[in-house]
Structure 1
Amino acid sequence: MRNKSLLIISIILILSVVAAGCSGNNNAKKARNIKLAYVAWDSEIASTNVVKQVLTTKLGYKVEMLQVDAGPMWQGVSDGSADAMVAAWLPTTHQSYLEKYKDKIEDLGPNLQGTKIGLVVPSYMDINSIEDLKKDETAKLVGSKIIGIEPGAGLMMSTEEVLKEYGLDKWTLLESSSAAMAQELQKAYKNKQPIIVTGWTPHWKFAKMDLKYLEDPKGVYGGDEEIDTVVRKGLKEDQSDAYTFLDQFNWTPDDMAEVMVEIHDGMDPEAAADKWISANEDKVQEWIKGIATE
């Protein structure tokens, strides 16, 4: 009888250990999630969706995308309410945010190089430099207005500095959104009307329209930039697979442009990301090299 009781107790203990192990595995799976912060710029919609789909389909993560403005994006990664972003435009555009949060984030370096920001006009306009905006005839052409994007964006802050440096105190930088700016540009371009917008490369608009940057002789916008991947402190320890992938994620302006054009032409962002991933499997495998995939 005593031996039977000991056997029953042993079985119960074994089942308890197995149950605890199963529970631990389930908790580990539930913990395999990540939050990506991004700004609704066409470039960042493309890159963040590609990153999301790789994390989801290749590494088995549950991904939450957090659409915010540039300031909250940086703050979110710094305070841990977001795990990562692939949208840090450096060294100029997001310089102020980097200086503010550099001790609270980890910069994994560039995921894309060869970007640029500045004032953009249709090529049919007979102006070539920001200095030309000082001319009365140029100001009259566009009503002394520049079509901008979201307030708080690094591009907007740089453009405000441009107005000061070039003495364009009578000019107005209109706040809108990336989508609204592109719509206004397309409408003006279709009718061959003059327009000046804040712009950046890569962007689908350069594939769809004949555009040019205005020269910036004072160098306020800086030179070519890069887009960095930034993660919260502790991600390497908490989500090592996601960290490794994000650290290895790297592509070209042409890669990004392919996804952007598909989205602009009406494809769902996730579908556009999946299409690019399927067509670039070798590159994706380099991003997840060294990770045990599901």
Structure 2
Amino acid sequence: MNRITVLLITILLSIVMIGCASNDVTEDDDKSNEGSNNNNKTLTFGKTPWTSTVPPTEIAKIILEDIGYEVEEEEADAGVVFAGLGSGDVDIFMDYWEPQHTPLLEEFSDSIEILSTSYENAEWGLAVPEYMEDVHDVGDLKGKEDIVNNEVLAIEAGDPAVEDVPKVIDKYDLDMEMVNSSEAAMIAATKAKLDNKEPVVLFGWRPHSMFNHLDIKLLTNEQATEYFIASDVSVVANEKLKEDAPDAYDFLSNWSIPIVDMEEMIAEIENGEDPEEVAQTWIDNNKDKVDEMLENE
């Protein structure tokens, strides 16, 4: 009888121990899965050559890596980025300008979602040096076109942002043409003009370090208010992001950043500071804001 009792107790203890061990394994697996859930998908950011794209992309990249995602970047112009968002080859783009990029969004509207607004009322239009004291509105250029070689310096012709430039030129009946080049080339050409105190007209927008580094001003356009409407800048993503990476989706849905902070970071990067270090400094100095953006993560 005693032997039977001992045997039964031994069997019961073995079962209990096996059960506990199984629970420990399950709990460990659960904890491991909690740490690796975000690694199920590598997130790809679209990254245009614009300076305004760099700081938000770097900040979001660091935060998403901190919560467990693998992150890659795909550098291309806006048209290619939106095509990638539409196909799913690109997951996220941090620099969608409305209304400038609305045609691109509409082309792939079945596959792209606006997640949040980074900042509002970003101004853009034609700009001139401050020393052109008699030019405050686009209309003030009438009759002075020859002093700027009848040119408006602008960025790439394929960018929807510059589509308003020839429309405004026509609206004011200016004897001028848009001269397209890269953003860097436009800024370099403008700086050369300013160094010699020569008149120049360029395409300008905020946020941009041109207003930190160059003594320029944006012109009003009182007779063409349907153009150069202040922009809202947003985060957009492929529609599958919510299902494939819900933590990233929640974080980016809470995203926002002051335009002044953007311009400061752009200027720091252009002064030679490492973009990742600039982004990390912003994160360190804005922990409360970052925590708010992650609160639903």
TM-score category of the 2 structures, normalised to the smaller one? 0.7 to 0.9
Residue number in structure 2 paired with 1:3: none
Q: Give % identity.
A: 32
Task: Select the residue among 115, 118, 122 that pairs with 1:111.
Answer: 118
Change (3 A) 1:68 1:98: same
Note the residue ranges of structure 1 that are not aligned, 5 or more in a row.
Answer: 1-13
Q: Secondary structure at the match of 2:79?
A: helix
Question: How many Å apart are 1:29 and its aligned residue?
Answer: 6.0
Residue number in structure 2 paired with 1:191: 196
C-alpha separation in 1, matches of 2:288 and 2:239: 30
Match status 1:71 vs 2:79: yes
Q: Which runs of 4+ in 1 moved over 6 A?
A: none
Task: Select the residue among 34, 38, 45 that pairs with 2:47.
Answer: 38
Q: Secondary structure at the match of 1:284?
A: helix
Aligned length in residues:
269
Q: CA RMSD in A?
A: 2.4
C-alpha separation in 1, matches of 2:62 and 2:264: 16
Match status 1:82 vs 2:87: no
Task: Select the residue among 225, 229, 233 that pairs with 1:227.
Answer: 233
Match status 1:157 vs 2:154: no
Task: Select the residue among 123, 127, 135 that pairs with 1:127.
Answer: 135
Question: How many Å apart are 1:39 and its aligned residue?
Answer: 1.4
Question: How many Å apart are 1:146 and its aligned residue?
Answer: 1.1
Amino acid at match of 2:48: V
Q: Secondary structure at the match of 2:100?
A: coil
Residue number in structure 2 paired with 1:6: none
Question: How many Å apart are 1:95 and its aligned residue?
Answer: 2.3
Which has the higher Rg, Structure 1 or Structure 2? 2
Q: TM-score under structure 1 normalisation? A: 0.84
Q: Secondary structure at the match of 1:257?
A: helix
The superposition leaves residues 118-177 of structure 1 with CA deviations (integer Å, 9 ceiling, x where unpaired) of 011111113122223331xx2111111111112221221121322333333x42211111
Contact 2:116 2:255 in 1 (8 A): no
Task: Select the residue among 102, 107, 110 that pairs with 1:100.
Answer: 107
Note the residue ranges of structure 2 that are not aligned, 5 or more in a row.
Answer: 1-21
- TM alignment of 1:217-256, pairs within 5 A: 217=222, 218-256=224-262
Residue number in structure 2 paired with 1:4: none
Question: How many Å apart are 1:220 and its aligned residue?
Answer: 3.9
Amino acid at match of 1:277: I
C-alpha separation in 2, matches of 1:269 and 1:150: 23
C-alpha separation in 2, matches of 1:114 and 1:274: 26
Match status 1:276 vs 2:282: yes
- TM alignment of 1:163-202, pairs within 5 A: 163-168=169-174, 170-202=175-207
Residue number in structure 1 paired with 2:67: 59
C-alpha separation in 1, matches of 2:185 and 2:40: 38
C-alpha separation in 1, matches of 2:230 and 2:163: 17
Question: How many Å apart are 1:30 and its aligned residue?
Answer: 4.7
C-alpha separation in 2, matches of 1:161 and 1:99: 21
Residue number in structure 2 paired with 1:10: none
Question: How many Å apart are 1:183 and its aligned residue?
Answer: 1.6
The superposition leaves residues 239-280 of structure 1 with CA deviations (integer Å, 9 ceiling, x where unpaired) of 001111111110111121221111011101111111111111
Change (3 A) 1:49 1:122: same
C-alpha separation in 2, matches of 1:50 and 1:192: 37
Residue number in structure 2 paired with 1:285: 291
Task: Select the residue among 204, 214, 217 that pairs with 1:212.
Answer: 217
Q: TM-score under structure 2 normalisation? A: 0.83
